[in-house]
Amino acid sequence: MSSDITVAGDPLAAPAVLALPVAPAVRPAVARLAALARQHAGLVAAELDQVRYDPTTRWYKRLAATEDLEVWLLSWLPGQGTGLHDHGGSSGVFTVVSGELHERSLVVTPLRRAGARERVLTPGATRVFGPTYVHEVTNMGTEPAVSVHVYSPRLASMNLYDAAEDIARPSFAPLRRVGVERSGEQW
């Protein structure tokens, strides 16, 4: 049986609230967050005419929040992307609702960066990632894209990294941080 849920990052680095699978069965916490992302994705898909698009930047709207998690809706016009970033220690799940998103993620081992991995995510694709995951997501297609993101704990900051360096090449050097976006200040 195949699945369109994929796990990203180091499965052993995730906190207990988002315990990533280390066995064939997906643990209940991950299943709960993935189900929440898919539930919201289904609601959004039924009302895509309510999604907004901003010609200058990605549009986003918080759909739900509790003490330990939050759910965001994002829209992406062709060419819009995140830049290389992490999630400030939060783990997460995201599901593509419509369109196509291109993800480039870093493969990081405890001693070095092992290179970059690229994938194209289509409607229904769900990614699960831990708190140390570094990636960039871009709409490289010709049509708008929509996605739903769930973070636990709630997203408080994102570290931005220099994507100009050759991240596909293995390296012992740390990534060069170029900025931090903070909740309440930048979004």
Which residue numbers belong to the known binding site? 85, 87, 135
Alpha carbons 100 and 94: distance in angstroms, whole number = 13
Tokens of 169: 């090449």
Query: Which of 34, 154, 161 shows the shortest CA–CA distance to 105?
Result: 161
Annotated binding site for Fe cation: 85, 87, 135
User: CA separation (Å) from 22 to 28, 76, 83, 114?
Assistant: 12, 33, 29, 21
Q: What are phi and psi of 49, to 5 degrees?
A: -70, -15
